[in-house]
Structure 1
């Protein structure tokens, strides 16, 4: 727009000057002017016009150079997703073992400027605060403290869930700090009881551009709910889309927080995230092998699932160079047709047949389920998580749950006429 404006001014000046000359030399004296014939006067005018054209050409070149200089100095360079600063937000409370999480976050951090570490502490627990402060001085992490550590007034039936209410309140405050006070455009959220893999940062670096460019995605998670030893393949580079919000080390953008932050729930924020009103048909990216594992046996969940499930989760120990890999296959337009064809072409068997090993020569097998009871029965037999959240089985995509059983890929799949998740399956 600036260039067009400058060129337009030059053209107007040129035309105005020519019109004035013509009016003065011709219109007022159609015969002779000062004894000079009109023919001679027009010849002189032609010379003047040629000189003016030359001058205008030089002026136009100068205006073009000025326009280029203005654009070079005032137009910001497009921001690449790969250059986005993504802080690590560590949610802490009263675990002095937060040092274990911090040690790994610092050890594997490839770029402190791109991945600054922010510890947000609730509870007002001084021993934990003292531990965190040591990292502030030595490693330059940022330590922020939730200003409201008061008890939340709850009716008697909900009092036992006080911890979940406080945790949700803390999350909302901390995320508001990241996005509205510090003005970051994305965040990776972890808690104070998580170990991370050597390629944790590499994984999120590579998947952020995919998340940023695909509106059908709303998060990237480091977690696989069925990621126990023996239930995942050795292919550490395998990534999937999932309709289930996994959490436990996850990334989202500010645009998503602007959408969900104002209606953030008072408690049970992770289950709230899994509801259709929040998910809106969007998916997350998740890995075959987890990039986080939890050592927090005790917490607000009172160790729920830890002894039977969480402590068996396999943490990836191989570095996968994801940033040197083309991850465009995770975009919805490419992934959906590929995944549908993959599942459709997989041989269908019964649960008993899959467990018998008679088809162990096949790379993958498919088991159908039509009801909630069928899914839960099959899941228990094969050892995967059998629960639903807002009707979505853990790790499912388009109703399909993918996992390994005795070294063989299994797709637990809804029938061909499946029309979507049923929120009553919870």
Structure 2
């Protein structure tokens, strides 16, 4: 209706202007019959052409004003819809008024265009014993309708609390930005990473600023989970909440491959490397990260010293997640060489019944250092010779990035690194215990 009205106003203005100029032309001719020569006609046509150009400029300005008016009207309408569809948040929770034993720990699943999202959701539902404490929220990017249809089946039977996605009409839920990201030619191959980072920021803002949760467990739509996935995060949340030197808990061990990990499924460690792939953080950490969240490669950015600030994460010896997503934005990078060999824990460990206070910094660091230096040291050549297989653990020392990469390749572990030592480089020697 607004578009038709706009066209009508513009047409009316043009007709009135042309009519006025024609009438003026005949009036002038009637007053000056002696000046009807060719030169006077040409001059008048030139004047008329100038007036028409000016009128076109005025019309364009009018159109711009109408467009702005229409855009503002749509924004006001969208805000009204948002107010009626979004629940009013509870008062924000702080560290002081959170009970670690009962705080809700929502599962935020980041989804895109995998209809196999049902595989991940089925496992999350299978192993979940407390639906109220662990609500499941799926945030879908990409606008892939077949995937949205799969997710909506879980929403309809109320096994999934919310599906925040692209709206099909103006009355739908709030949604992530699906617009194209324009990048210079050399960076266009990384467009997917820019969209993922944008989606993560939007979804985490929903969790903490709209749903108003105090913490979150983040998974993706290509992860399997272990039977004690929820038990693990329930128990470690208390440590995360109480120890300021921690900033995340991860279910992942980058080197957790078959044949390379202990059979002790209770082993947990502190690590200064951000593992990701099924991880938990608190809201105050997000409020710190959100204002400077990167446009792309968010996980590598998390590993930089400027973000980590000497804080560490808890991670297991045996992974509590594994990935089946061979195809994705990374195009299978590391999947064939590492990821498909990751061992997923199959035993249920009652972590909530165990004392995990050893993971706090004041209890952990000295004990771990003692464990490392009590282990016999060998060169990488001695370790790979096969003569030390009878030993439970050995220690290999390296001092440079190049030595680390060479050692890691010979041991068959991840040789990828994103941040190294401090801002001024590696400080002292480091030990790799295997």
TM-score where L is the length of structure 1: 0.74
CA deviation string 1:361-413 (max 9, x = no partner): 432211111222211111111111112111169xxxx94444xxxxxxx2xxx
Structure-to-structure mapping, 1:232-247, within 5 angstroms = 232-247=261-276
Which residue number corresponds to residue 337 of structure 1? 366
Which residue number corresponds to residue 219 of structure 1? 248
Which residue number corresponds to residue 282 of structure 1? 311
Query: Matched residues in 2 for 1:202 and 1:260: separation?
Result: 27
RMSD (CA atoms):
1.6
Q: Name the SS for the 1:388 alignment partner.
A: coil
Which residue number corresponds to residue 70 of structure 2? none
Which residue number corresponds to residue 302 of structure 1? 331
Q: Name the SS for the 2:157 alignment partner.
A: helix
- 2:157 paired with 1:138: yes
- Residues 125 and 159, structure 2, Cα contact 8 Å, conserved in 1: no
Deviation at 1:360, TM superposition (A): 3.3
Which residue number corresponds to residue 57 of structure 2? none
- Residues 397 and 432, structure 2, Cα contact 8 Å, conserved in 1: no
Aligned with 1:229 (options 229, 248, 258): 258
- 2:104 paired with 1:85: yes
Which residue number corresponds to residue 263 of structure 1? 292
Query: Matched residues in 2 for 1:108 and 1:292: separation?
Result: 13
- Residues 220 and 251, structure 1, Cα contact 8 Å, conserved in 2: yes
- Residues 252 and 277, structure 2, Cα contact 8 Å, conserved in 1: yes
Query: Matched residues in 2 for 1:228 and 1:325: separation?
Result: 26
Aligned with 1:183 (options 212, 235, 242): 212
Query: Matched residues in 1 for 2:200 and 2:388: separation?
Result: 47
Runs of 4 or more, structure 1, over 6 Å off, are none
Q: Name the SS for the 1:83 alignment partner.
A: coil
Q: Name the SS for the 1:129 alignment partner.
A: helix
Query: Matched residues in 2 for 1:277 and 1:400: separation?
Result: 23
Structure-to-structure mapping, 1:55-66, within 5 angstroms = none
- 2:134 paired with 1:105: no
- Residues 164 and 300, structure 1, Cα contact 8 Å, conserved in 2: yes
- 2:135 paired with 1:116: yes
Give unpaired runs (5+ residues) of structure 1.
Answer: 1-76, 403-409, 411-426
CA deviation string 1:286-307 (max 9, x = no partner): 0000000000011111111111
Give unpaired runs (5+ residues) of structure 2.
Answer: 1-95, 166-174, 423-428
- Residues 105 and 215, structure 2, Cα contact 8 Å, conserved in 1: yes
Cα pair distance change 1:401/1:185, threshold 3 Å: farther
- 2:391 paired with 1:391: no
TM-score where L is the length of structure 2: 0.73
- 2:225 paired with 1:205: no
Query: Matched residues in 1 for 2:225 and 2:113: separation?
Result: 20
- Residues 218 and 284, structure 1, Cα contact 8 Å, conserved in 2: yes
Query: Matched residues in 1 for 2:123 and 2:336: separation?
Result: 23
- Residues 243 and 392, structure 1, Cα contact 8 Å, conserved in 2: no
Aligned with 1:318 (options 321, 332, 347): 347
Which residue number corresponds to residue 147 of structure 2? 128
- 2:182 paired with 1:163: no
Query: Matched residues in 2 for 1:179 and 1:159: separation?
Result: 31
Cα pair distance change 1:301/1:233, threshold 3 Å: same
Which residue number corresponds to residue 422 of structure 1? none
Query: Matched residues in 1 for 2:361 and 2:374: separation?
Result: 20
Q: What is the count of residue pairs matched by the alignment?
A: 323
Cα pair distance change 1:372/1:121, threshold 3 Å: same
CA deviation string 1:296-339 (max 9, x = no partner): 01111111111111111110111011101110000011110001
Which residue number corresponds to residue 88 of structure 2? none
Query: Matched residues in 2 for 1:275 and 1:231: separation?
Result: 27
- Residues 349 and 367, structure 1, Cα contact 8 Å, conserved in 2: yes
Q: Once structures 1 and 2 are overlaid, which stretch shifts more, 248-257 or 360-369?
A: 360-369
Deviation at 1:78, TM superposition (A): 5.7
Query: Matched residues in 2 for 1:401 and 1:298: separation?
Result: 32
Which residue number corresponds to residue 253 of structure 1? 282
Query: Matched residues in 2 for 1:362 and 1:298: separation?
Result: 39
